[in-house]
């Protein structure tokens, strides 16, 4: 049964499921696998190779016109921004469901 | 009625639901007021030299950047005025009035892009529909195009910075069109200069300079919020809604394999340039941001045969100086138009510079 873990601002609609990958600016994109959920404080262009592999993006900061929101909408993947606590509450490897329309992140396992 | 009311309503959409602290790689809004008066004075000199205030947009479009770039320039004037010690009111007034008029003449249907960025005439749109080599889309290519937009957008984010991005990325439309018996929304994404060699060495420039992505969608309602990079699908999904497309770089139509190769190249360049930016110290960042800001006016300055780059006086003004503080609240999530007008100095600008009320 999915358990609601945290909420943020809905920035790009859609629903995606996948493993969480806590990923920060400057990290090696080789450690990010296709279809994972990118969890970070705020994205920047050093993360773009991971972003284009992501099934969804969840950030601690930002708004609906911030970098992750704009790029997620262009790629048609769910995005939630301004969760404030995503990088501290979510563990890498956790199976998540991201609802970009409601701005909600659920834990699946 | 003054343009400032329409401007305020539209530009609010740029910041609504956002915080100033999200802008990167520098707190621009506490940096620009340190030196903006000097730069604006030079812009006025160029306007005088070329007699720009007597000319229609059509006569000078070749020395102006994209409409979103002009909107971005306008947007930065009000917080700069609010924060600057030197309030050269006449310079602010002439520059703001000139660029507002350029928008009214280039995009008369929605100058400040409250909902759309209608840069093309009906004849131009019909010409594109009839003459572009449209290809049928599927989910796979639609995802590819989304990735292409993401990597090109990330590259210009580094090349031009967060608030000069619009010089490197605009989106025109949405145009409601009929093509081969079907109704579509046409969006044109344009990256007009992926090779700003005046700002960066060769390794940070793309192998292509001009990139245009033409896309025909169904079952999606699009809005453009003040600038082209803030294109929002109000409903539907761009991947499922894309029906036809064509990608043209430097005048050549790209095939799917070439698009894939370009995604790989631009992603690597976007990452490399931003890693470089992350290594810059505070003084280097200030110099870079000032150079990027001045680059927005390069074509105008070149036409007047005046060096577009920062003067020594501008450089000296910011050298070893900390950023200003307290002009705008960095962490506040902007949600209210009236609050936005106060915070960004729009009411102050309307009253003191334009002699109006926002």
Q: Are B17 and A73 an interchain contact pair (Cβ–Cβ within 8 Å)?
A: no
Question: Which of B22, B162, B274 is facing A61, going by the closest CB pair?
Answer: B22
Pick from B271, B272, B336 the residue to mutate for testing the A interface (most A CBs within 10 Å): B271
From chain B, pick out residues whose CB is under 8 angstroms from the CB of A53.
none
CA angle B216, A55, A101 (to 5 degrees): 70
ipTM: 0.90
pLDDT of residue B1: 54
Tokens representing B146 are 């989304």
| CA-atom Rg of chain B in angstroms | 20
Average model confidence (pLDDT) for chain B?
94
Q: Is B26 on the interface with A (CB under 8 A)?
A: no
Residue B65 predicted with pLDDT over 90:
yes
Tokens representing B183 are 């109704």
pLDDT tens for B111-166 read 999 999 999 999 999 999 999 999 999 999 999 999 999 999 999 999 999 889 89
pLDDT of residue B358: 60
State the Cα–Cα distance between residues B102 and B97, nearest whole angstrom.
9
Shortest CA distance from B238: residue in chain A: A76
pLDDT of residue B13: 87
Q: Are A75 and B147 an interchain contact pair (Cβ–Cβ within 8 Å)?
A: yes
pLDDT of residue B353: 96
How does DSSP assign B7-61, residue by residue?
HHHHHHHHHTT--GGGS-SS-GGGTGGGTHHHHHHHHHHHHHHHTGGGS-HHHHG
State the Cα–Cα distance between residues B249 and B221, nearest whole angstrom.
27
Cβ atoms of B171 and B229 within 8 Å: the answer is yes
Shortest CA distance from A61: residue in chain B: B22
Q: Find all residues with CB under 8 Å of A107, minimum gap 6, and list them.
A: A2, A3, A5, A94, A95, A96
pLDDT of residue B357: 67
Q: Are A62 and B22 an interchain contact pair (Cβ–Cβ within 8 Å)?
A: yes
Q: What's the gap in Å between the CA of A94 and the closest CA on chain B?
A: 25
pLDDT tens for B246-260 read 999 999 999 999 999
Q: Find all residues with CB under 8 Å of B93, minimum gap 6, and list them.
A: B353, B354
CA angle A57, A61, A65 (to 5 degrees): 75
pLDDT mean over B205-216: 98
pLDDT band per the 50, 70, 90 thresholds, residue B110: very high
Q: How far is CA B253 from CA B132, B148, B323, in A?
A: 9, 15, 46
Number of Cβ within a 10 Å radius of residue A52 = 24
Tokens representing A5 are 């873990």
Residue B341, phi then psi, degrees to nearest 5: -65, -35
High-pLDDT (> 90) share of chain A, %:
80
pLDDT mean over B294-322: 97
Q: Is B17 on the interface with A (CB under 8 A)?
A: yes
Cβ atoms of B145 and B245 within 8 Å: the answer is yes
pLDDT tens for A10-46 read 999 999 999 999 999 989 999 999 999 999 999 989 9
Q: Is B14 on the interface with A (CB under 8 A)?
A: yes
Residue A109 predicted with pLDDT over 80:
no
Residue B21 predicted with pLDDT over 80:
no
Residue B333 predicted with pLDDT over 80:
no
């Amino acid at each position: 049964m999915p358990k609601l873990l945290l909420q943020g601002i809905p920035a790009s609609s859609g629903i995606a499921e996948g493993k969480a990958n806590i990923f920060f600016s400057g990290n090696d994109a080789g450690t990010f696998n296709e279809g994972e959920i990118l969890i970070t404080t705020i994205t920047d262009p050093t993360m773009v190779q991971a972003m284009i592999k992501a099934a969804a993006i969840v950030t601690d900061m930002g708004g609906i016109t911030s970098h992750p929101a704009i790029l997620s909408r262009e790629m048609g993947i769910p995005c939630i921004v301004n969760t404030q606590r995503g990088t501290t509450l979510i563990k890498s490897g956790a199976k998540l469901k991201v609802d970009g329309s409601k701005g909600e992140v659920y834990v699946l396992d | 009625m003054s343009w400032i009311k329409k401007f305020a309503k539209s530009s609010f959409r740029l910041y609504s639901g956002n915080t100033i602290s999200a802008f990167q790689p520098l707190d621009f809004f506490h940096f620009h007021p340190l030196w903006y008066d000097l730069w604006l004075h030079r812009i006025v000199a160029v306007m005088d030299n070329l007699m720009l205030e007597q000319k229609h947009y059509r006569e000078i479009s070749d020395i102006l950047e994209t409409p979103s770039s002009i909107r971005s320039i306008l947007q930065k004037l009000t917080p700069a005025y609010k924060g600057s010690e030197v309030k050269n009111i006449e310079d602010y007034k002439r520059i703001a009035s000139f660029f507002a008029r350029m928008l009214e003449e280039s995009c008369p249907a929605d100058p400040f892009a409250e909902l759309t960025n209608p840069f093309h005439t009906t004849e131009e749109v019909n010409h594109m529909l009839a003459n572009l080599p449209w290809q049928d889309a599927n989910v796979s290519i639609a995802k590819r195009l989304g990735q292409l937009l993401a990597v090109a957008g990330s590259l210009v984010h580094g090349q031009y910075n967060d608030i000069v991005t619009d010089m490197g990325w605009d989106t025109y439309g949405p145009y409601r069109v009929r093509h081969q018996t079907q109704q579509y929304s046409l969006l044109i994404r344009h990256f007009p200069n992926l090779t700003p060699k005046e700002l960066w060495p060769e390794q940070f420039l793309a192998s292509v300079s001009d990139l245009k992505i033409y896309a025909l969608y169904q079952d999606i309602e699009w809005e453009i919020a003040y600038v082209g990079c803030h294109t929002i699908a109000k409903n539907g999904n761009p991947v499922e809604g894309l029906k036809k497309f064509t990608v043209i770089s430097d005048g050549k139509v790209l095939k799917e394999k070439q698009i894939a190769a370009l995604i790989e190249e631009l992603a690597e360049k976007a990452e490399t340039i931003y890693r470089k930016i992350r290594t810059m110290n505070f003084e280097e960042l200030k110099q870079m941001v000032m150079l990027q800001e001045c680059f927005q006016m390069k074509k105008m300055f070149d036409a007047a045969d005046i060096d577009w780059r920062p003067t020594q006086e501008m450089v000296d003004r910011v050298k070893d100086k900390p950023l200003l503080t307290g002009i705008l609240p960095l962490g506040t999530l902007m949600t209210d138009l009236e609050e936005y007008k106060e915070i960004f100095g729009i009411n102050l600008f309307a009253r003191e510079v334009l002699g109006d009320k926002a």
